[in-house]
Amino acid sequence: MKIKMYIPRLVVAIMLVLLMIPISVSAKGKEELKIATWEDVNTLDPGWLTSVEREFTIMNCIFNGLVKYKEGTWDVVPDLAESWEISADGKQIMFQLRKGVMFHKGYGEMTAEDVKFSFERIIAPDAKSPEKGSWEKLDHVEIVDKYTVKLILKDRMAQLFTSTLPLNAGMIVSKKAVTEMGRKKFTSNPIGTGPYEFDSWEPKQHIKLLRFQDYWGEKGKIRQITFTPIIEDSTVEIALKTGEIAVGRCSLVSLPSIKKNKKLKVYTKPALLYWWVGLTVNKPPFDNLKLRQAVRYAVDVDKVLEAAFFGTAKRANSMLPPGMLGEWKDAPIYEVDLDKAKALLKEGGKPDGFKVTLLVWTDDRAKIAAEVIKADLARIGVEVDILIKEVGAFNESANKGEFSMHIQFFTTTIDPGYATSWFTTGNSWNPSQWSNKKYDTLIEAGMSEVDVKKRAQIYIDAQKEIDKDCWAIWLTNGSKIRVAQDYIDIGKLFPNGRLAPWIISFK
């Protein structure tokens, strides 16, 4: 009788103890990886990407290209293509495709038809793809057979293997899926061949991906990846500390305290991007070069960096970051000179100053920088009204040149042709609405120049044109900070700190 009474009590006691023990990380890790992003995406269609920073990593889980960057490096290695041959004149590239590569959700095998469709949909005259410039030298794609495809170029394409094929413009979509759904529906129902397949998207809440069981390569380490958009750095930091998310970021001001947290690991990489203050040149007041130059002499870049980046980001004096082909090492450094700024205002017909609107998005760094710039320009009589918009609305307004000034950053690649391509005449990602025929000619030449020294000088000369026309006040190339739980094996980060989620695992 006693035995029958004590056994249930013992079982209950053991159960209560077990409930007090945290669930093992390894068990959790096989289920879901939660990653914080800084904003929601606008699209999951790689041919219509709107932000490398927000959308590329997710697309990189869903899609493959013919080639890819090897994880942790900028080395270009085979992906959907097993091999390729380049003609003597560099205008024809023949790719041999992998056999047996399956699309997600039963959309069949990937073939040469899908490759042709993926690239030609971008260059179609009526498509209006923002990636059209990435394929500017592509004439057409020929299908040799089911598993062989040939790219026919109008001219040599120096950036083909550095920033077109390995990035979103080179990703292969299912022709059948896009044709059946239409491009608009495909935007939120992507079908690729990648290690993770799309599951669901709740705008402003999350995007869920599931491990693709029929993936042709090494399968993802974790069953489900959830990307959660969190705008404020402070909110991400709280979520990291409470364990609600596994991988995220932190603000520069919080970095010292985050590093002291034994449950978190910090990874810092130099960023592959460029921040600037942009001036819209196709309407008053900044259609006047003298007024643009006045503003450049009034903005204290060092003070902006100290306030917005807490002194951790190095100043940039031109577009291309250190170490990139075409880096302009001798770019002029514009120090604050209020007397010169006021003299330029007078020469520009605005001795008493003027009023402008400075557009920024909901980013702490951008908002702080805007306040510093506002105070700087007030010293020369320029009144600044700061307008803050969500990132989607910001991009739309900025790219249309709706306001006189904007703070912006663009993420780039290892190729200077990508970084500089957005500012050619009429480009949809040219927020200053700038047009310079010499610059256009230089960028066109750079796309086909294969001599390294000549190509480097082309991009230095292109940056000189930007400097001469003074539509940008360069701020910094920044840095990338990743924070992960200590039970995360983050794998190999790309040199700019970008994640490769398919190789992340739990220890």
Dist CA 46 CA 139 (whole Å): 20
Residues 6+ apart with CB under 8 A from 275: 316, 407, 408, 409, 474, 475, 476, 477, 478
Confidence (pLDDT) at 311: 74
- pLDDT tens column, 362-395: 988 999 999 999 999 999 999 999 999 999 899 9
The fold adopted by the segment(s) 230-271+480-506 is D-Maltodextrin-Binding Protein; domain 2 (3.40.190)
- pLDDT tens column, 74-106: 889 999 999 999 999 999 999 999 999 999 999
Could you tell me where in the chain the CATH 3.40.190.10 domains are found? 230-271+480-506
- pLDDT tens column, 315-329: 999 999 888 899 999
pLDDT at 479 over 90: no
Residue 73 three-state SS:
coil
CB 122 within 8 A of CB 131: yes
Dist CA 423 CA 427 (whole Å): 6
Confidence (pLDDT) at 14: 34
The fold adopted by the segment(s) 273-477 is Dipeptide-binding Protein; domain 3 (3.10.105)
- 47 CB neighbour count, 10 Å cutoff: 26
Could you tell me where in the chain the CATH 3.10.105.10 domains are found? 273-477
Residue 432 three-state SS:
coil
Q: Which has the minimum average pLDDT: 22-36, 108-122, 221-235, 248-262?
A: 22-36
Confidence (pLDDT) at 323: 82
- Tell me what the pLDDT averaged over the chain comes to: 92
Could you tell me where in the chain the CATH 3.90.76.10 domains are found? 34-211
Pairing mode, if any, of strands 76-78 and 67-69? Answer: antiparallel
pLDDT at 171 over 80: yes
pTM of the predicted structure, to 2 decimals: 0.75
Q: Which architecture does CATH list for 34-211?
A: Alpha-Beta Complex (3.90)
Sign of the C-alpha dihedral, residues 409, 414, 420, 422?
negative
CB 138 within 8 A of CB 151: yes
- pLDDT tens column, 240-252: 999 999 999 998 8
- pLDDT tens column, 1-59: 333 333 344 333 333 333 333 333 433 445 899 999 988 999 999 999 999 889 999 99
Confidence band for 179, pLDDT divided at 50, 70 and 90? very high
Dist CA 3 CA 189 (whole Å): 60
CB 80 within 8 A of CB 110: yes
- 282 CB neighbour count, 10 Å cutoff: 11
